[in-house]
Structure 1
Amino acid sequence: MSSRRSIVSIAVFAAIYAAISLTITNSYYQLIMTLVLVWAVFGLSWNLLSGYTGLISFGHAAFFGIGAYTTALGQIYFDLSPWLLIPIAAMLGGLAGLLIGFPTFRLQGHYFALAMLAYPLAILYVFEWLGFQEITLPIKRDNPIAYMQFADPRAYTLLALVMLVGAILLTRTVERGRFGMALLAIKQNQAAAEAAGINTLAWKLRAISLSGAVAGAIGAFYAVVLLVVTPQSVFGMLVSAQALTVAMFGGVGTVWGPVIGSVILIPLAEALNAEAGSRFPGIQGVIYGLAIIGVILVAPDGLFWKVRDILRRCKLPLPSAEATFAPVTATVTKLPVSTRRDQSSGQMDVVLEVSNLSRSFGGLKAVQNVSFKLHRNEILGIIGPNGAGKTTLFNLLNGFLRPDTGEVLVEGRDMFARKPHELCEAGVARTFQIMRPFPRMSIADNVVVGAYVRAKTDAEARSLAADAIARVGLSPIAERIAGELSTKELRLMELARALAGQPRILLLDETLAGLGHDETDEVVAVIQRLARDNMSIAIIEHTMQAMVRLVDNFLVLDHGAVLVEGKPDAVTRDTRVIEAYLGKKWVAHAAH
C-alpha cells in the first residue's frame, strides 16, 4: 500500500506540474519552471551520496560541469546530438565519481567536504587554461528536434520533468533496497556497518558513481537549455551550493526533500535576482545562505522531516493511564545460571586459533604475543584490568586494527589483517563495548543490515532478521525505533544484528555493561542458549559473578600479554590473577 501511494504521489506531482507549465506562455517564467526541475534533479544527485551516507560534498559541481561541457564540446567538435550526449555525460559523470571517490573516501568529516570542494575548482581552472571560457552551442535550424533546440520552451520543461521523475524513481529504488539500507547504516554508524559485514568503501563508491551519473546527465541537459556554457556557471561554488541547499532545505536523506527545496528556493532566488540583481549583485548567494541558516535554526533535518514529525505527533493518540505505566519491553526467558554448561564433545574442534598476535602504538605494546584457541560451542571469557588490551585484541580479530605480527586462523583459513566485512563474511561477528545502534532505524531494520552479509535477497534478509530477533526475545517490539530503546534492549538488538549474519564465532565486548542484576540474568540466558546452538563465543566482561557461572574457560590479559589461561575455578584462585585483577576482597566475597 505504501509503495502504491508513493507511485500515486509521483504521478500526481508530475501531472500538476505539467499542467501548470503548459499554461505558461512567458519564456522567462517557463525557463524558471525548467530550472526548478533541473536543480531538483541535481539536488537528488547530491542526496544520493551526501543525504544517505552523511558525507557532505561541496564538490558536486565537478560532475555537473563535466556533463555540461560534454554536451557543448560534443556538439561543437563531433556534431553529436544531445540525445546521445546526455547518456555519454552520465557515463562520464559516473566514471568521474569513481576516480574522485576512491582516494577521497579515505577522509572523513570536514576533511572529506573540503577535499571535494577542490575538484570543481581545479577543473574550472583547467577549462579556463584550455581556452573554454565561454562556449556557445551551435544553432541547428535545419534539424532542431535532433539537437533539442525547440521553438516552444515548454518542451524543455516536459523533458526536465521526465528526467526528474526518473531521478525520483531511481532514488526511491535505492532508498527501499539493500543499497539504501547499507548507505543509511554507514551514515548512522560506519563502524557498526563494517562489523555487520558491509563493505563500506564499495557501497560509497557505488553511491558516488550513481550520484555523479545523475549530476552529469542533468548538467548536460542544462547546457542544452541555456545554449551557453562557462566554467564559472557550471563548476563554480554557487553550483555546488545550490545542490546542497535545495536538499538541506527540503530534507536530506529523503526522496522529496530536494524537490521541495527546489520548488521553494529556485523561483524565489530567480525572482529576486531578476528584480534586484543589478543593484545587489550576488543576491542568489545571499538567499541560499539565509535559507541554510533558517533551516539550521528551525528544522535542522529539513522541511520534509519537520512536517512529518509534526503530522505524526498530531496523529498519535493520547496515552492512557495504563499505557503510561505499562510500556512494551523485551522479555527473555531466564535460565538458571548457577552452574556452567556441560561441554559437548564437539568443543574440541578449534574454530578460532590465534598465535603470537601483537600490536604496538609507538612505544606502547597494547597486545603482546597473545595466543589462544576458541573451540566449537565454547564460551571463552577474556578478563583483565582496564588497559590490559582486551578491546584492542577484539579490534585486531575483527579487522578494525591491523596486527603488527601474528597469525589468525578461522576454521583453518588464514584471516590475518583482513577487513571487518571480510571477517564477517568468514563467520566472525562482533558487538561493541559502547553500543552502536543505527538510531533512526527500527530494531527490524537494524538487524536486517546484519543479515545482508549472508542473504542474497531482501526477502531472505528479512527472514534471517526475524529469526535473530526472535532468538533474543525482541519480536514484540521489532518495529520500535532504536533511539527509543533501553540499555538492555539495545544490547539484545546488537546481539541480534550480529546473529542475523549466521556467524559461527561471536565476539562480545562487555555485553552485560550497564545492566541491572535481573537484566544481566536475561542476557546471560540468551548467551547460554547460543552456545548450545553450535555458537562459539569470546566475551569480554567485568561482571565476574556472572562470568564465573557462564564461561567454560578464562583468558586473562595484563599489560597486553596473556597472564594465565584455564578453567574458572583455577583462574579465580590463581595468585597472579588475584593480584593483577580480582583483588583479595573479591576472593573473600566469592568464598561466602
Structure 2
Amino acid sequence: MTMLRMRSLLRPLLFTIAYAAISLGVTNSYYQLILTLVPVWAVFGLSWNLLSGYTGLISFGHAAFFGIGAYTTALGQIYFDLSPWLLIPVAAMLGGIAGLLIGFPTFRLQGHYFALAMLAYPLAILYVFEWLGFQEVTLPIKRDAPIAYMQFADPHLYTLLALVIMFAIIVVTQVIERSRFGMALLAIKQNEAAAEAAGINTLAWKLRAITLSGAIAAAIGAFYAQVLLVVTPQSVFGMLVSAQALTVAMFGGVGTVWGPVIGSVILIPLAEILHAEAGARFPGIQGVIFGFAIVCVILIAPEGLFWKLRDLLRKRLATKADDIDVPEVSAVNTKVLKPTSRQRAATGEVVLEVRKLSRSFGGLRAVQDVSFKLHKNEILGIIGPNGAGKTTLFNLLNGFLKPSQGEVLIDGRNMSCERPHTICEAGIGRTFQVMRPFLRMSILDNVVVGAYVRARSDEEARKLAADAVTRVGLSAVADRVAGELSTKELRLMELARALAGQPRILLLDETLAGLGHGEADEVVAVIQQLARDGMTIAIIEHTMQAMVRLVDSFLVLDHGAVITEGEPEVVTRDSRVIEAYLGKKWVGHAAN
C-alpha cells in the first residue's frame, strides 16, 4: 500500500518539477504569465471536477466561488491592509461556506435544473458587486514589504507558487479519489439510487464535495487576483470563467485527477496566445476556442482525452491477452448446488413487520393495505403477475418511496419515512430488478461501496468487500471492471454489494432475471448458502420452479393487494393464485 502511494505521488511530483524547469527557462514576461495561468486554471478545473466530475452534477456556476476568493484578497488588502498569505486561507473558508449555503437548497434539483440553478449564483453576485461600485478594483502596490504582500519582482516565483498549489490539490484529489469520500462520490455519479441503497447518505456527501470544491475554487481565485493585481466582476464572476473550469475538465477527462491538468496544458496557452494575436480583430476568440474544444470532445471523446486514451490502451492490452485462458467464473467453487430443502425453520422473532402499507399514484393504488411479518432466518417469496406491485412494495420497504399510509417496522421501530441509506444502516440490504452497477469501477470497488455502511476504515471496508466477493464466487475476477461483466456476474456482484454491508435482511428483486437455466441454478445455490448461514431474505422472482424449492413461505400480490400467504405447498394449489398468476398448467405440473 505504501509503495502504491509513493508511486501515485511520483507522477505529479515529476510533472511539477518538469514544468518548473521549463518555466525557469522562459524570459518573455507574457509567456511567463501564461505558464502561471496554466496551473491556476488546472486547480480551478480540479475544484470543478471534485464536484461535477465525481458526482455527475454539472455546475455552470463555479465562478461564484472563484470570484468570492478574488474579491476577498482585493478588498482585504484595500480596506484592512491584510497580507494575501492570510487572505487566501480566509478566502478558502468563505468559499467553503458559500458552497455549503448554495448546495443545501440546490441539491434538491437534478440534471439540467441543477446546472441552470448554479448558473444563477455568479450572475447574481456579479450584479451585486457592480451595484456596490466595485467595477474595477486595483490591488495596492506594497514597495516596502513586497514579499509579505506576495508581490514578487521575479514573475517566475508566481509560477512556482502556482505549481506548489497545483501539486497540493492534485495530491488532495488523489487521496480523496482512493478514500471513502471519492468512492461515495463516484457511486453517486454512476447510480445515485444504488448508492443510497448501499447506505451512502448522498446529500451529505454532495454537501461535503461542494464545500471542499468551493474552498479550493475560492483559494485559487484569491491567488489569481494577486497575480493580475486587478479584479473586475466580469473577469472573476463572468460566464466565461465558469466555462473555462468546465471546459478544461471535460476536455482532459472528467472524474479523474489528470483531466483538468491535461485540459489546462493544452487549452489555456492556445486560448491566451490566440487572444493576444487575434483578439483585436476577433473579439471573444477565447470563448470560441473553449466552445470548439467542447464540440471536439463531444464528437471524438465524450468523456475526455484521458478516458479515451485509457480505453484505447485497455483494448490493445485486451487484444494481446486474447490467447490467455480466463478462469471460468462460477458462483460456487466446486460444483453447482442443486436446490434442496434448507432443513431449518425460521425462528419466532419478527425482524420486519408491515402494517396496512399503501401507496397511490394519482388514482392508481399500486399497493393496497399490505400487511405481513418476516421472521428471523425466514425466506419469504413475494410473487404475483406483472403489475401486481411487488417492486413498488420493495421500494416502500427500503425508502425509495414514501407510503400513502401504513408502517414499516424494523425491530419494532417505524422506518416508513426514512431515506434508503438510513434503512440500509438499520440492516436492510437490497438488489434491483434492473441492475444498477457502478460501471467504471471494478467488482471489488463496487462491493467496497456497500461495505462502507458498516466499516469504520477503508481497510475494514476492503476486508468486508473481499469476504462478500468470496461468498458469491467472484474472487477470481474481482479486479474486472463492471462494464465488462456478463449478466450472471453482475447479478452476483450486486448481491455481494448488498452482503458487504452485513445486513440482517436481504431484499432480492428478481435476482434470476436474464439468466439461463444453469446460471440461475448457480445463483440459487448462493442464495441457499446465505440462508444456511442465517440470512433472512425476502425475494421477488418469477421462476416458480426455483422458488418453491427455495422459500419457506409465499406472499401473493394481485393489483397491489395480498390475496393469500402461506407455505409453498398450500399456496401453489390455491385456486385464486392459479387463476391470478400461475395459470391452469401449473395444476398439472404441481400434481407431478
Using the size of structure 1 for normalisation, the TM-score is 0.97
Matched, 1:561 2:561: yes
Is the Cα–Cα contact under 8 Å of residues 331 and 492 in structure 2 kept in the other structure? no
Question: Where does residue 414 of structure 2 map in the other structure?
Answer: 414
- Map 1:489-500 onto structure 2 (within 5 A): 489-500=489-500
1:250 aligns with 2:252: yes
Deviations 1:411-448 (A, max 9, x none): 22222211100011010000000011111111111101
Q: Is 1:159 aligned to residue 161 of structure 2?
A: yes
Report the residue type matching 2:507 in the other structure. Answer: L
- Cα distance in 1 for residues equivalent to 2:314 and 2:544: 45
User: How do 1:42-441 residues align onto structure 2 when only pairs under 5 Å count?
Assistant: 42-316=44-318, 318-319=320-321, 323=325, 328-332=328-332, 333-337=335-339, 339-344=340-345, 347-441=347-441
**Deviates further, 153-162 or 443-452:** 153-162
Deviation at 1:454, TM superposition (A): 0.3
TM superposition shift of 1:314: 3.9
Counterpart position of 2:579: 579
Deviation at 1:480, TM superposition (A): 1.2
Q: Of the candidates 4, 7, 29, which is equivalent to residue 5 of structure 1?
A: 7
Query: CA offsets, 1:66-118, max 9 Å, x none?
Result: 10011111111111111111001001111111111111111111111111111
Q: Percent identity, please.
A: 79
In the TM superposition, what whole-angstrom CA distance separates every residue of 1:115-167 from its partner, at most 9, and x where no partner exists? 11111111111111111111111111121111111111111111111110111
Number of the residue aligned with 1:18 = 20
What per-residue deviation string (whole Å, max 9, x for no partner) do you get for residues 538-563 of structure 1?
00111111111111000011111111
CA change 1:311–1:578 in 2 (3 A) is closer
- For 1:57, the aligned partner's letter is S
**What CA distance in whole angstroms lies between the structure 1 residues aligned with 2:36 and 2:488?**
53
Letter of the structure 2 residue corresponding to residue 370 of structure 1: V
Contact 1:330 1:476 in 2 (8 A): no
Alpha-carbon distance change, 434 to 118 in structure 1, aligned in 2, over 3 angstroms: same
Q: CA deviation at 1:320?
A: 5.3
Q: CA deviation at 1:521?
A: 1.3
Q: CA deviation at 1:319?
A: 4.3
* In structure 1, C-alpha distance between the alignment counterparts of 2:237 and 2:113, rounded to whole Å: 20
- Give the drift of 1:313: 3.6
Which amino acid in the other structure matches residue 19 of structure 2? Y
| Contact in 2 for aligned 1:511/1:541 (Cα 8 Å) | yes
Give 3-state SS (helix, strand or coil) of 2:502's partner: coil
SS in 2 for 1:513: coil
**Counterpart contact for 1:505–1:536, Cα < 8 Å:** yes
Equivalent residue letter for 1:468: A
CA separation of 1:319 and 1:145: change in aligned 2, threshold 3 A: closer
Q: Structure 2: 5+ residue runs without aligned partners?
A: none
Map of 2:484 onto structure 1: 484
Structure 2 Cα separation of the partners of residues 330 and 91 of structure 1: 52
> 3-state SS of the aligned residue for 1:318?
helix
* Alpha-carbon distance between aligned partners in 2 of 1:522 and 1:254, rounded to the nearest angstrom: 37
Query: Which deviations, in whole Å up to 9, do the C-alpha atoms of 1:196-218 show, x marking residues without a partner?
Result: 00011111111111100000000
Give a deviation string over 1:250-269, Cα, whole Å, max 9, x none.
11111111111111111111
SS at match of 1:215: helix
Q: 1:30 to 1:320 in 2, by over 3 A?
A: closer
- Aligned pair 1:539/2:539, yes or no? yes
Q: Contact between 1:93 and 1:215, CA under 8 Å: does it hold in 2?
A: yes
Matching residue's letter, 2:98: A
Secondary structure, aligned partner of 1:347: coil
Q: Which moved more, 1:572-581 or 1:54-63?
A: 572-581
Unaligned runs of 5+ in 1: none
3-state secondary structure, aligned to 2:400: coil
- Separation in structure 1 between the aligned mates of residue 581 and residue 312 of structure 2, nearest angstrom: 52
Superposed CA offset, 1:231-255 (max 9, x none):
1000000000100111111111111
Which residue type is aligned with residue 214 of structure 2?
G
What is the Cα deviation at residue 494 of structure 1?
A: 0.5
CA distance in 1, matches of 2:161, 2:320: 47
* Counterpart contact for 2:442–2:479, Cα < 8 Å: yes
Shift of residue 12, structure 1, vs aligned partner: 1.1
Give CA-to-partner distance per residue, 1:262-281, whole Å, 9 cap, x none: 11111111100000000000
Give the direction of change, closer, same or farther, for the CA distance of 1:226–1:322 in structure 2 (3 Å limit): closer
* Cα offset, 1:315, TM superposition: 4.1
> CA contact under 8 A between 1:328 and 1:477: conserved in structure 2?
no
Structure 1 SS opposite 2:377? coil
CA shift at 1:580, angstroms? 1.3
Cα distance in 1, alignment partners of residues 245 and 462 from structure 2: 34
Q: Distance in 2 between matches of 1:472 and 1:550?
A: 17
- RMSD (Å) for aligned C-alpha atoms: 1.3
**Conserved 8 A contact 1:330-1:477:** no
* Structure 2 Cα separation of the partners of residues 107 and 561 of structure 1: 34
Q: Deviation string for 1:453-509 (max 9, x for gaps)?
A: 000011111110111111111111111111111111111110000000000000000
Aligned residues: 588
Whether the 8 Å CA contact 1:347–1:377 is kept in 2: the answer is yes
Q: Tell me by how many angstroms 1:519 deviates.
A: 1.3
Q: Contact between 2:327 and 2:476, CA under 8 Å: does it hold in 1?
A: no
Instruction: Say which SS state the counterpart of residue 508 (structure 2) adopts.
Output: strand
Query: What one-letter code is carried by the residue in structure 2 that aligns with 1:242?
Result: Q
Partner SS, residue 438 of structure 2: coil
Which residue of structure 2 aligns with residue 590 of structure 1?
A: 590
Correspondent of 1:30 among 20, 23, 32 = 32
The verdict on how the C-alpha distance between 1:472 and 1:315 changes in structure 2, with shifts beyond 3 A counting, is closer
Q: Secondary structure of 1:348's partner?
A: coil
User: What letter is aligned with 2:163?
Assistant: L
